[in-house]
Chain A
């Protein structure tokens, strides 16, 4: 079955700098890669996703890149702000098997 590895587990960046979180997956059949953000005390919320027919997707300060050959995808947050502090989860899914999440990255934005 699918296995998703996420790094780093904790990340601290200065406000205004960029943050990058990386994930690798094992099943080459996976074709959908969402990113969820979880704020303290709340359920996760989708912030961006990418499908395997696209190499990059951007939404304002957030972007996701996908390298199918290497089987890894990354979340990029530019011009970080205090409200970006949260736990971020990547996941991988394909139509014939259940979705698998990474273990999460706790992002701290330092003032």
Chain B
């Protein structure tokens, strides 16, 4: 089992460019999450999906969109990147169906994004 995989590992964008971060899990989990991690700010939830076909906003959703393509895949899209979106992005998944993170979350290795 690969667990949670994320692509790409590293990306540089110019302000205004768009891109999609990909995430996939092979654990048959119901809930999936996207977080951003900034120095001194910890992990902040961007969006989550409690099940296939549903998505909900987290703490910091502005400037992002998500798609729960199927049970395995959950993508994060930046339509018009801004320097403030420079961060490390983590995808996670968990077995539960609430999307509340009330069970073990399994994190991917992260995507480091730099917006110039």
- A interface residues, Cβ below 8 angstroms from B: 6, 9, 31-32, 34, 36, 41-46, 49, 89, 91, 93-104
B14 contacts the other chain (Cβ, under 8 Å)? no
| In-complex Cβ contact of B45 among A41, A43, A95, A98 (8 A) | A98
Q: Is the CB of A98 within 8 A of B59?
A: yes
Query: Which residues does chain A contribute within 8 Å of B105, judged by CB atoms?
Result: 34, 36, 44, 46
Q: Is B53 an interface residue (CB 8 A)?
A: no
On chain A, the residues within 8 Å of B40 by CB distance are 9, 103
Tally of contacts, chain A with chain B, CB under 8 A = 68
Considering the chains assembled together, what is the distance between the CA atoms of A45 and B108 in angstroms? 10
User: Chain A: interface secondary structure?
Assistant: strand
Residue of A nearest to B58 (CB): A98
CB-defined contacts of B108 to chain A, threshold 8 Å:
43
Judged by DSSP, the binding face of B is loop
**Which B positions have Cβ atoms within 8 angstroms of A?**
4, 35, 40-45, 48, 56, 58-59, 90, 92, 98-102, 104-105, 107-110
Contact indicator A89/B42 (Cβ below 8 Å): yes
Residue among B43, B99, B104 making CB contact with A101, cutoff 8 Å? B43
Q: Which chain A residue shows the least CB distance to B43? A: A101
Q: A91-B43, A102-B42, A104-B42 are in contact. List 11 more A-B contacts (CB 8 A).
A: A31-B102, A36-B107, A46-B105, A89-B43, A94-B100, A98-B48, A100-B59, A101-B42, A101-B43, A101-B44, A101-B45
| With A98-B58, A103-B40, A104-B42: A42-B109 Cβ-Cβ less than 8 Å | yes
Give the distance in Å from the alpha carbon of A32 to the alpha carbon of B102 in the complex.
6
In the bound complex, do residue B41 and residue A46 qualify as a contact, i.e. CB atoms below 8 Å apart? no
Q: With A98-B45, A101-B43 in contact, do A93 and B101 touch (Cβ < 8 Å)?
A: yes
Contacts A44-B90, A45-B107 given; does A99 touch B45 at CB 8 Å: yes
Which residues of the other chain, A, contact B101 by a CB distance below 8 angstroms? 32, 34, 91, 93, 98-99
B16 to chain A, nearest CB (A): 29
Please give the distance in Å from A51's CB to the nearest CB on chain B.
Answer: 9
Query: Considering only CB atoms, which chain A residue lies closest to B33 in the complex?
Result: A99
